[in-house]
Amino acid sequence: MAKIDNQLMEDNIINSIIGEGSEFKGEFNINGLLRIDGKFKGSIQTEGKVLIGKTGEAITDIKARVVVVGGYVKGNIFAGEKVTMLSTGHVVGNIITPSLVMEDGVIFEGNCVINKKSGE
């Protein structure tokens, strides 16, 4: 139970943020939560969570445990646990994840593989 509680707490602590109106190019290798509300181009790798906010634009491949898309992503998403696409989300690329949630209004241009076996 303690591991689950710690994981939930870590998912809500923002480690890094690219704010609205900001632009960043490069490579993110982080622990914890990355939130993108501005523009990002590069690569992202984390054992934590990546959140693309409603105003966020990311041209990237994302490798994370959990990914939430509320903005625009061009690139592939590899999630070890779950991908959630909010109604304002737009993804151009492929998704590989064991669990996918899509709200009404999502725009998704690509292929999706629901892979229940962790790590594949």
Q: Is the pLDDT of residue 61 over 50?
A: yes
- The stretch 80-87 carries a mean pLDDT of 97
Please give the tally of structural domains in the chain.
Answer: 1
- Tokens encoding 42: 């590069």
For residue 120, tell me if it sits in a domain: no
Please give the Cα distance from 53 to 35 (Å, whole number). Answer: 7
- Tokens encoding 78: 């590899």
| Pairing mode, strands 100-102 and 77-85 | parallel
Contact of 32 with 50, CB cutoff 8 Å: no
Model confidence at 13, pLDDT cuts 50, 70, 90, reads low
Please give the Cα distance from 73 to 57 (Å, whole number). Answer: 6
For residue 11, tell me if it sits in a domain: yes
At residue 5, the pLDDT reads 46
Structural domain of 104? 2-114
- Residue type for position 68: V
For residue 119, tell me if it sits in a domain: no
